[in-house]
Amino acid sequence: MDTSPKALRSRVPQQRHPESRPNAQTRTEVEAEVEFEAGVASVSDRIRELRARGLTPKQIREELPGVSPWVVNCAINRDAKAQASHPGLRARARDADRERARVLRLEGKTYKQIQAELAVSSATLSMWLRDLPHPQPDRSAHAAHMHRILATRRNEQREAQKAAAFAEVGEISDRELMLLGVALYWAEGVKDKSYSRREYIQFINSDAGMMRLFLSWLDLVGVEEADRQYRISIHESANLAAAEEFWRGVVGRPEADFRKPTLKRHNPKTVRKQLTDDYHGCLIVWVRKSSDLYRRVDGWWGGILAARGAGGMPN
């Protein structure tokens, strides 16, 4: 064994001065730490109460203006750790919000939709809902949204096309009105047959605009108002009084000029879609002593066909 003075000195424990230890604390530091812990302990119950009410750290600091923010933050963090380690200590005030958020998530709601109902942050929702499956996108709602957009565009295009066509018509001369009236009557009026003579003017239609145009044509060809008679033809299940008021407004004539209405018998097996509030039946206009006018209309129509190479003089 080496018994030299140097070797012996190396085996003797070295004495160090207490102040030279690296982890030693001065009396001032110890007192400050004790004071800090006392401050944290003094506000812990109050902070737990405020957290149970759902206040944020910023709001808690505002509630405790006389306490150091560092003390408040430390107390909040320790309370959060205690809740994580001991779930029984966790504040129960937001349990209802958490359960409601989970129900909404399972219904397929997004974070934004849940936040619209519950005043919680995205981070809180992520903590509450991260174990739940991600909701599938609501493709039906998106499809309905796109359908509304396309329908709006189609309506705008439709209205623009109608407006452009409307502007193309301009003024109509008497000759054009005469030809229009003849074509209109030949499409919708009563016509003579070889097996059943019907040489008189009788026009029926349910469109108010078409009826006004036909009455303008009668004015043009010289038919007096006294020679015109009107009759309403309507289903018996419709509103007759409303229809009479409507058609009197269209033709501008009193009730005395209208003959007894014709009521169509209702067939319950027939599903009729026109029996709505804007259904007013049809109006029949009959012109007395109109055989001469009818023959002229027949000839005018033949002339129109011949002018376009589609026919000749009527038989």
Q: How do strand 201-205 and strand 282-287 relate by DSSP bridges?
A: antiparallel
Buried residues in 22-44 as b, exposed as e (16+ CB within 10 A): eeeeeeeeeeeeeeeeebbeebb
Indicate yes or no: pTM above 0.75.
no
pLDDT the model gives residue 271? 61
Residue 91 has pLDDT above 60, yes or no: no
Identify the band that residue 215 occupies on the pLDDT scale cut at 50, 70 and 90: very high
In the chain, the percentage of residues whose pLDDT exceeds 70 is 81
pLDDT at 207 over 70: yes
pLDDT value of position 90: 47
Taking alpha carbons only, the member of 309, 285, 314 closest to residue 298 is 314
Q: How would residue 88 be classed by pLDDT, with cut points 50, 70 and 90? A: very low
Confidence of residue 20 (pLDDT cuts 50, 70, 90): very low
Q: Please provide the average confidence, as pLDDT, over all residues in the chain.
A: 82
> If you average pLDDT over residues 204-217, what whole number do you get?
94
Q: Which two tokens stand for residue 133?
A: 């499956």
126: part of which helix (H) or strand (E)?
Answer: helix 122-129
Q: What per-residue confidence (pLDDT) applies to 272?
A: 60
Q: For the segment 107-159, what is each residue's pLDDT rounded down to a tens digit?
A: 888 898 899 898 888 888 888 888 888 877 667 877 888 999 999 999 999 99
The predicted model gives 80-89 an average pLDDT of 52
| pLDDT tens for each residue of 239-285 | 889 999 999 999 999 888 899 999 988 776 666 655 566 888 999 99
Residue 8 pLDDT:
45
Counting DSSP H helices and E strands in the chain, the numbers are 12, 4
**Range in 96-100, 198-202, 226-230 with the lowest mean pLDDT:** 96-100
With cut-offs at 50, 70 and 90, classify the pLDDT of residue 6.
Answer: low
How far apart (Å, rounded) are the C-alpha atoms in residues 310 and 114? 71
163: pLDDT confidence band, cut at 50, 70 and 90? very high
> Across 19-132, where does the E strand assignment appear?
none
Q: How confident is the model over 176-186, as a mean pLDDT?
A: 95
**pLDDT value, residue 89:** 43
Which has the higher per-residue pLDDT, 32 or 63?
63
At 49, the amino acid letter reads E
pLDDT score of 302: 92
* pLDDT at 27 exceeding the cut of 70: no
Q: What is the pLDDT of residue 209?
A: 93
Confidence of residue 63 (pLDDT cuts 50, 70, 90): confident
Using the Cα atoms of residue 61, residue 67, residue 69 and residue 73 in order, give the sign of their dihedral. negative
> What is the model's pLDDT at position 177?
95
Q: Rounded CA gap, 76 and 82, in Å?
A: 10
